[in-house]
Structure 1
Amino acid sequence: MSDAALPATVADVPTPCLLVDIDKVKRNCKRMTDTARNMGVQLRPHVKTHKTIEGGDITTAGTRRKIVVATLNEAEFFAANGYDDILYGFPISKEKLPRCQKLANQLSEFHIMYDSVEAMQWVKDTPLNPDKKWSVIMKVDTGYGRAGVLWDSDDVVTVAKAAVDADNVKFLGIYTHCGSSYDCTGVDELKKFGTTNTDRLTTVRDKLKSAGIACETVGTGSTPSCSKPADNMAALTEFHPGNYIFYDYEHVRIGACTLDDVAVRVATRVISHKPSKNQLVTNSGFTSVSHDGIKQIGEEFCVVQGHPNLRLVEMSQEHGKIRPATGDLDFGEYPLGTMLFLYPYHSCATAYNHPLYYVHSGEKIVGVWRPTRGW
């Protein structure tokens, strides 16, 4: 879309669409950059939330280096646009190795993640150019229970040694995604969680050191824990948060940010009145908002900006149903065509539904971002 074709203001955008407040984005990113710098930790931002070059340029301060990706599509997209030092932050699987092989040969630094001896054998059996070695990070499970070697098991040494003993592999270190931080509420809980998570990760580091295995990288990531970091997280080498570029209502509820920090909204319009059900119908269904959050916290999962009594109570593919938490709707206050703005519960899931984002400063539309898609 050319600048000439851009809507002039937020009031002119087609709906539903995703709005990105560029001033809040820059403020959020500066805060996280400053946090990492002040703690003496390298920030390696995750790009999975926005999946855009523009967002990557802001989070890396224009260096186009040191990012984490969730998919190889993201890795290839960013590599094609001049990015380097990319970590594929997902346990490697055999069918992905040919694409990883191309990236490892292409880039000066491309890192992969593994969490089993079997996976490392696949890596060792996949050759790179003669001047190249696989750069690998062992994923550690510090309690989230998703992927990774259990932090308190003897397997951490066995799995690490599988990489250290390989001629064509460089063992870089360890990483954990501390996803359990999303179960916290308030700064005190976040800091307590961050302390425990870091202690577990550094325990693995020290256990490997005792076995003669050095960890150049000791990294952890999650937007809540990195937004309100525990003091001992300064012992780490890298932070890997991603959602902080946008934030969302989930992070507000956790206490990682305020509603004023949330940089994305879904713009929608009222398309129908249902007095018999005390409801407004909008043109934003689960394909523009996502269902994520509605099962977790019910009707409060999505905030309607400026209308604290309104609740998004139900969605079909392209329709949303809004009703008041208390009292009767004044339908005269919401004539057909009225624009409403929804703060999403989970900005990653919401953003993924949109082929482009309308970027604004104040009320003026200043550009569009086009995210990459696929795996």
Structure 2
Amino acid sequence: MGSNKNLPDLITDLPSPCFLVDLNRAKLNTSRMLETCKKLGVQLRPHMKTHKTIELAVLQTGGKKQHITVSTIQEAEFYAENGFDDILYAYPITADKITRCVNIANSHNFHVLFDSHDAIEALSNAALDSGKKWSVLLSVDTGDNREGALWNSEDAVELVKKVVSIDTIRFQGLYTHDGHAYECKDEEELRKSGDETVEKIQHLKNRLQKEGIDCITVGLGSTPSCAKPSEKFSAMTELHPGNYIFFDYEQYMGGVCGIDEIACRVMTRVISHCPSDSHLLVDCGFTAISHDGMTKQDTLPFGFCIFQDNPNLRMVNVNQEVGIVKAADGKLDFGKYPIGTILYIYPFHSCAAAAMHPVYYVHEGDKVVGMYKPTRGW
């Protein structure tokens, strides 16, 4: 939870490296997504995985603390213990995680994903309190090729038919993460990809209806598709994006957001000059920003990450606690970046960068207004 004790007044007084959250931008991002879902007539079930804090979850749910998605049992327990309900554990369930899920399911409105016969067996062998049933959704692969039963496969139908035959399990519907939307290059591609995903999930829903099986919930989500949805998304019952609360360099490059919508930064300071190689060091290594984006840096216009207001700077490599920074063009002007200079970085992937930090410093303008502590672990 947040705390204002012993906080400095200004972000420039904070220790570095640190993770900054622009509260006003985060509020705009969350209110925009709530309004998008309202216009479509669908339920927003925001994903908590990007930030994993109570305060930002309250923003995402419009203060209702209902209808959330999590990616770990630790998150599910954390939010359940802090007054949230109607929690979807969006991760293929396995036997080793069942015991902890039982505890949540017995006390909360809790849903789990399945995509295998092993998962069904594990659920059927784990009894809930009298009168309670497992609420389950089939994880569906609509093109991401990560997990889930393939949308047009016989296996998808057979898995659902097996579930509905078990008295202790209640089939809720279908869930798909359309992560392949991240491959889109612009808004036109995003809308086309999103519409195709809707059609695929609807195809499976219709096949199940022909078998006499209803889908109460039909959900899809990724930030790229949900940030730029077409009217076809109104055929869904819920959307579950997560990254949109912060956005990042990757979303900016995909045409999902503007640079002025990115609500997080990593603050760092120059700690050393190396004239012989014309580079400087900053106190931001992979433990502060992660490695995400490094393999793509040669194809990105600003390299691995974006230095705010310093377009000629490039982070060319990161060690554990330091980053190596050079000039994109010409030699580095060390006089412009004396030791102690503060720099602000927009990370390639905000979820990964946020995961590196035990605390987020929240600010409005240059003023520090809070400190949010995310849950960690699995």
TM-score (structure 1 length as normaliser):
0.98
Deviations 1:9-54 (A, max 9, x none): 0111100000000000000001111001101111000000000000
Aligned to 2:262: 262
Partners of 2:4 and 2:141 in 1: CA distance: 46
- Output the amino acid matched with 2:49: K
- Indicate how the Cα distance of structure 1 residues 2 and 27 shifts in structure 2: closer, same or farther if over 3 A, else same: closer
Partners of 1:104 and 1:344 in 2: CA distance: 36
Whether the 8 Å CA contact 1:249–1:301 is kept in 2: the answer is: no
Give 1:214-253 correspondences, 5 Å limit: 214-253=214-253
Q: Answer yes or no: is 1:372 the counterpart of 2:354.
A: no
Aligned to 1:54: 55
Aligned to 2:326: 323
Give 1:27-42 correspondences, 5 Å limit: 27-42=28-43
- Residue 301 (structure 1) shift: 2.4
Q: Which runs of 4+ in 1 moved over 2 A?
A: 1-4, 296-299
Aligned to 2:173: 173
Aligned to 2:12: 11
- Residue 256 (structure 1) shift: 0.6
Aligned to 2:339: 336
- Tell me the secondary structure at the aligned position of residue 137 of structure 1: strand
Whether the 8 Å CA contact 1:97–1:123 is kept in 2: the answer is: yes
Which of 345, 348, 353 in structure 2 is aligned with 1:345? Answer: 348
Deviations 1:321-367 (A, max 9, x none): 11111011111111100000000000000000000000000000000
Deviations 1:105-159 (A, max 9, x none): 011x100000012211110111001121100000000111110000111111100
Whether the 8 Å CA contact 2:94–2:118 is kept in 1: the answer is: no
Partners of 1:164 and 1:171 in 2: CA distance: 6
Partners of 1:173 and 1:333 in 2: CA distance: 57
Partners of 1:5 and 1:143 in 2: CA distance: 48
Aligned to 1:137: 137
Unaligned runs of 5+ in 2: none
Whether the 8 Å CA contact 1:66–1:84 is kept in 2: the answer is: yes
- Tell me the secondary structure at the aligned position of residue 192 of structure 1: helix
- Tell me the secondary structure at the aligned position of residue 129 of structure 1: coil
- Tell me the secondary structure at the aligned position of residue 152 of structure 1: coil
Partners of 1:114 and 1:38 in 2: CA distance: 30
Q: Answer yes or no: is 1:25 the counterpart of 2:26.
A: yes
Whether the 8 Å CA contact 1:17–1:266 is kept in 2: the answer is: yes
Aligned to 1:106: 107
Whether the 8 Å CA contact 1:247–1:347 is kept in 2: the answer is: yes
Partners of 1:35 and 1:277 in 2: CA distance: 49
Unaligned runs of 5+ in 1: none
Partners of 1:105 and 1:198 in 2: CA distance: 33
Whether the 8 Å CA contact 2:19–2:266 is kept in 1: the answer is: yes
Whether the 8 Å CA contact 2:3–2:371 is kept in 1: the answer is: no
- Tell me the secondary structure at the aligned position of residue 111 of structure 2: strand
TM-score (structure 2 length as normaliser):
0.98
What CA RMSD, in Å, does the superposition of the two structures yield over aligned residues?
0.9
- Tell me the secondary structure at the aligned position of residue 354 of structure 1: coil
Partners of 1:2 and 1:159 in 2: CA distance: 47
- Indicate how the Cα distance of structure 1 residues 2 and 96 shifts in structure 2: closer, same or farther if over 3 A, else same: closer
Partners of 1:38 and 1:210 in 2: CA distance: 30
Aligned length: 374
Aligned to 1:65: 66
- Judge which range, 230-239 or 336-345, deviates more: 230-239
Which of 313, 316, 334 in structure 2 is aligned with 1:313? Answer: 316
Partners of 2:256 and 2:229 in 1: CA distance: 10
